[in-house]
Structure 1
Amino acid sequence: MNISVEFTLLPLQNDFESPIQDFIKELRASKFKVLENPLSTQVYGSYDELMPFLNDTIKVSFESIEHVVLNMKIVKSDRSDYEPNF
């Protein structure tokens, strides 16, 4: 089963850019398809492979940031090729 996951990482600190960049670099270094835009990052892959990777990556990020919010949406399908038709 393939999934699409959208993240918005929100470090609650003055230096917020570095933790976001570190998180995105970890996602980019993975074998999963990663798409970015100014407001969020999307990752696509197999549920059984992607979720353990995300669990570990989020934990590392949370351990390095004292106060942080992570918004995450999970869709049960690969939406990486979505194009509006309107």
Structure 2
Amino acid sequence: MKLTVDISMYPLHDNYKDPIRWLIKRLDSYPGVERVTNSLSTQVSGEFDEVMRMLSIEMKAAYEQFGKAIFVCKFLEGEFDLTRRT
């Protein structure tokens, strides 16, 4: 089963850009997961179990590395064309 997730990270400190860039770079290390980032959020798409495992690992790592942050995620069952422009 495929899963597409729209993720926004809001680090709760002044230097908020570095943690976001750090997370995006780490998301790129998963070869089975496609990633697209725009100015508002990051979308990832791949096999359900792999995407959920990635989110669990990387959200925990972000908390351990940078402390408090808010993650807002929207989940869509299925594969979504992340390159599609409307």
Using structure 1 for the length normalisation, give the TM-score.
0.89
Q: Which AA in structure 1 matches 2:67?
A: E
Q: What is residue 68 of structure 1 aligned with on the other side?
A: 69
Uncovered stretches (5+) of structure 2, i.e. residues with no partner: none
Q: Count matched residues.
A: 84
Work out whether residues 4 and 80 of structure 1, in 8 Å CA contact, stay in contact via their aligned partners in 2: no
Structure 1 residues 7 and 48: CA distance shift in structure 2, 3 A: same
Question: Residues 32-47 of structure 1 correspond to what in structure 2 (within 5 A)?
Answer: 32-47=33-48
The structure number with the bigger radius of gyration is 1
- How far residue 48 of structure 1 moved from its aligned partner, in angstroms, is 1.6
Using structure 2 for the length normalisation, give the TM-score.
0.89
Distance 2:29 2:11 in 1: 21
Cα RMSD of the aligned pairs, angstroms, is 1.3
Distance 2:30 2:67 in 1: 25
